[in-house]
Structure 1
Amino acid sequence: MSAPSFSKMAAPALERILTDLLEPDSAKIRQATERLREALEEPEGPQGLAELLRGAGRPQIRHLAAVLLRRRLRKLPQDLIDRLPHVVVEALERETDSCSRGALAQLGARLLLLGGPKFWEPLEKWIQEAARDPRKVEGALRCVGVAVGVAGPALSRRGPALLGLVHLALRPGGDGGALGAALAALGALAPILGPRGSGPVPVPEPPV
């Protein structure tokens, strides 16, 4: 009886490979690196990585899957690229780890640079909604700062709308985490908004 094809077990197989990559064993890492290279040559390999964004149990695996997808973005099948903005949003909705969330935001920004505004719209919609939820506002603003840091001028037209979300978080009564995320996002937004002819971006007074 033949072994199951990789296409039927892409995500679980990749999760095992990525787990080995995180082990402090150089021999195991070398073997896992070779297995990963072979796995990603399979048609279902990249799709398996996308599944891990929202399905892997360990945040380190989810983070690594996002990094690998970002690095291979131009090599991915077009149908997967078209689905990725929505997969990223689904993953962000579930994500609680800050490093994994940042890697997802970087992936979303790279999608914008690759395919234009249509690939950014799902992520921006999530950011707009999450920024109004006290449980998600810090994560949403962290995503703004990361995405602007990656995509820069490509987000200049969206800058005013994103700046509005920052102002909401800087209102009195906000928690410290959200305030820190808002100030970081503001720092990322300032360079793409300042030269628009209206002078430097005004920095709201933080709540006392």
Structure 2
Amino acid sequence: MYATNNSRTLKYTRVSTTEQNDARQLNEDMPMLSDKCSGSIPFREREKGSIVLEMAQERNLDALHVQSIDRLGRNTLDIMQTIQELTDLGVNVVSEKEGLQTLINGKENPVSKLIINILATLSEFELNRIKERQAEGIAEAKKRGAYNTNGGKPAETIEQFLSKKGNAKCFKLLKTGTSVRTASKLAEISTGTSQKISKMIKDGLI
């Protein structure tokens, strides 16, 4: 069981990757547990999230503070199940950004429950929109020839590729009917690059 310096109030933070900084979520007035993981991972499957639930089940936690509701997750059902489980165990979940708490004088706060449900839904909706925008961006980059499917990293554009002296010369030679092998020798580039340019011509990309 996690030691909290005799405090029964805990701050929980989450950042998406190990590179991100959770300084804005810090609160020096209380102990803190922090996960570095995707918000899509269920709360109980997170290393520190499972500890929070264990503390609640052992009746060693009275209040759990989070900077905002989306720190608990990005899936509406998971967020609501986590909050309901904590609330049923007598833990007051306090969202600092939204100014909400699930318990008032030991009783469940119905208004807070409704607002949290709305916020959780909006958080999940925004996550889906981010994924859609990423997919649209990748599709657009592929059309421009600026996306490399090998590892998903951006590659040079067709214009940048053809701006290279050897590639430009090879392109002109191939357009006049010169063979791939001869064009590669005359342009002083590899046969593989010459074949790539030839395919781009056939595919109508250039």
TM-score in same-fold range (> 0.5): no
TM-score by length of 2: 0.30
Looking at CA atoms only, which structure, 1 or 2, has the larger radius of gyration?
Answer: 2
TM-score by length of 1: 0.30
More helix by share: 1
